[in-house]
């Protein structure tokens, strides 16, 4: 009798998931660029400069998480998303939104 991994036919699910990670990365990049643009056009306060720096750091962290997951999904049998990686992606997304709102207001 085949094991559970041998019976599962993932079909196009890994490809759809990889495309979703790419769309999320694109949305994150656009948000970061718009927030940085706003920070550079602002008054130049220390809060805006700090927010811009944090936006860049969070954006780079998210790119690292997303790129790692996209590479993993290219495997024949992609591994399950680790809870730590999922938490990292969520924290980066929330932090980017918070920092962007700090810069905009």
The answer to pTM > 0.85 is: no
Give the C-alpha separation, 89 to 96, whole Å. Answer: 11
Token pair of 15 as six digits? 């490809």
Give the C-alpha separation, 102 to 47, whole Å. Answer: 8
Which among 46, 49, 59 has a CA at the least distance from the CA of 89? 59
Token pair of 16 as six digits? 């759809």
Q: In angstroms, how far is the first alpha carbon of the chain from the final one?
A: 61
What's the count of helices (H) and strands (E) in the chain, helices before strands? 4, 0
Task: Read off the pLDDT of residues 8-40 as tens digits, 9 standing for 90 and up.
Answer: 555 777 788 888 989 989 988 888 888 788 777
């Amino acid at each position: 009798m085949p094991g559970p991994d041998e019976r599962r036919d993932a079909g196009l699910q890994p490809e759809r998931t990889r495309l979703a990670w790419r769309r999320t990365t694109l949305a994150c990049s656009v948000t970061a660029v718009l927030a940085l643009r706003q920070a550079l056009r602002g008054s130049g306060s220390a809060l805006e400069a700090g927010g811009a720096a944090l936006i860049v750091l969070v954006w780079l962290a998210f790119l690292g998480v997303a790129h790692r997951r996209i590479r993993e999904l290219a495997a024949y049998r992609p591994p399950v998303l680790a809870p730590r990686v999922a938490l990292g992606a969520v924290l980066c997304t929330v932090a980017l939104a918070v920092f962007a709102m700090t810069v905009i207001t």
